[in-house]
Amino acid sequence: MKARNFFLFMLVVMLASGLTFVSCDSSGDTGGGSSGPATLANFQGRWVLLSALEQGWREYYVEFTGTNVLLRAITPNGDLTNMPGTFTFTNTHITFVAPPGEWPGWTTPYTLSGNTLRLHEGDDWGWFEGTFTRQPEPVFVPANPARGFNYGYYYYIPGSVRNSSRTYILVETISTGGFTNFSINDSRTFETIAYNSINNARDLANELGVVVLVPAIPRPWTAPPNIDPQILNRAAMQATGTHARADLQVIKMMDDLRQICRGRGINLHSKILLNGFSAPGNFGNRFAAIHPALVQAVASGGVAGMPILPVDTLLGERLIYPVGIADLRDIAGHNFNFSQYRTIPQFIYMGSQDSNDPLGDTSLFHGEEERRLTSIVLGTNILTRFERAKAIHEDLGTNATFRVYQGVGHTVTAEMRRDVIEFFRRYM
């Protein structure tokens, strides 16, 4: 078996048969060479296999909570292993024990050196070497109206960031689309969703070496005018009170996080990265148009072929926000700055089978005018809109890359994820 193919095969075997590893704290190696006994607390938290992520795995980690353990991995093809189990514990080792009946007959020898796990299956199989690194926990910052944000937010700082001369904040907002079994007035609901979102973003943060900020932005869209801060729709930009100007509230969260990072000796760039799919994709796409001077690069997926058009008129029509930018001064308080916007690297993408088309959804639009304008200048078919938006951006000379992934619906695949990572790496 070729070594490259065997790499992926053995990862599956490892998931099935068990893991033995040792903790390593910030002060150095506490593994097999440690002079003092380890305690169960040394192993608590989430441990990620970075080499698997580098091979395109979407997730690969082991998480210890109390006396329980969860082994979770998502392959490049999207296959999920989500295996709870138990573990045996000695003063220097923990061994994952799969539930009875899981993968019977597998026995796999391991050797340990520091925090490096080595697996040996005989001369014909070769060596596999992987390093499990414990991830820090996300931190929640409660809402602080005095500091300018009425929603709380989570942040996550990878351990590798401490060694960076300078890094970025990556903002990824949340989406509650499709969720109906919660109270929209309970901030804890959105904080829980934000926690899940930042856990999903941790591996991305580790790979890029960035600080992640996930705002717990709600979606209070029970009745017209359908205020939706999660996508910065027109009604949200005109809202007052708690939900007024979610974009400005996120900027205040960024300022707050910068102060936290300064206190830890972490140096941040003045510009940010924006990443999102579906509603978070819309947020990032529109935020970049409203505040282009703050954005280093933005990846926007699944925006239903309706990215904001950086023009005020087209085909004889005046394009109001968020179709275009004709009345951005009335909406945001300042004129659109095309010279700044056109230089922002953008990656706008979708699946060819994406059927999540909100053109007829009143939650997305503040009135019939936006729907009418979209239908006229971009069309009613989701893929047609995407291609027309691409052509408009190309004609205007923006720094936007558009891509359609064949055979993919309204989801993020491993290929999309890899492309997003490479996109950000190119412009960091």
pLDDT given for residue 197 in this prediction: 76
pLDDT given for residue 190 in this prediction: 66
One domain for residues 130 and 156? no
- In order, the DSSP letters of 183-211 are -TT-HHHHHHHHHHHHHHHHHHHHHHT-E
One domain for residues 153 and 103? no
Quick check: helix, strand or coil at residue 51?
A: helix
| Contact between 413 and 405 (Cβ < 8 Å) | yes
Q: Residue 226 and residue 228: Cα distance in Å, rounded?
A: 6
User: In one letter, which amino acid is 284?
Assistant: G
Domain final residue, candidates 135, 151, 183: 135
User: In one letter, which amino acid is 244?
Assistant: A
pLDDT given for residue 187 in this prediction: 57
Q: How many domains, the chain?
A: 2
Question: The domain that contains 35 carries what CATH number?
Answer: 2.40.128
pLDDT given for residue 123 in this prediction: 37
One domain for residues 297 and 233? yes
How far apart, in Å, are the Cα atoms of 255 and each of 31, 138, 148, 236, 294?
39, 18, 10, 22, 12
| Contact between 328 and 321 (Cβ < 8 Å) | yes
Q: Residue with structure tokens 């709870």? A: 84
Ranges in the chain, pLDDT < 50: 1-38, 105-129, 178-184
Question: The domain that contains 184 carries what CATH number?
Answer: 3.40.50.1820
One domain for residues 102 and 226? no
One domain for residues 205 and 312? yes
pLDDT given for residue 422 in this prediction: 93
Q: Residue 135 and residue 188: Cα distance in Å, rounded?
A: 24
| HSE value, Cβ hemisphere, 13 Å, CA-based, for 214 | 25
One domain for residues 155 and 112? no
pLDDT given for residue 161 in this prediction: 81
One domain for residues 241 and 371? yes
Domain final residue, candidates 83, 100, 135: 135
Domain final residue, candidates 113, 135, 157: 135
pLDDT given for residue 34 in this prediction: 36
| Contact between 265 and 312 (Cβ < 8 Å) | no
| Contact between 228 and 219 (Cβ < 8 Å) | yes
pLDDT given for residue 305 in this prediction: 94
Residue ranges making up the domain that contains 66: 3-135
One domain for residues 85 and 10? yes
pLDDT given for residue 6 in this prediction: 35
pLDDT given for residue 114 in this prediction: 46
One domain for residues 227 and 152? yes
One domain for residues 370 and 420? yes
pLDDT given for residue 101 in this prediction: 61
One domain for residues 275 and 169? yes
Of 94, 134, 98, the residue nearest 14 (C-alpha): 98
Q: Residue 173 and residue 361: Cα distance in Å, rounded?
A: 21
One domain for residues 79 and 172? no
Q: Which token pair is 239?
A: 């809202």
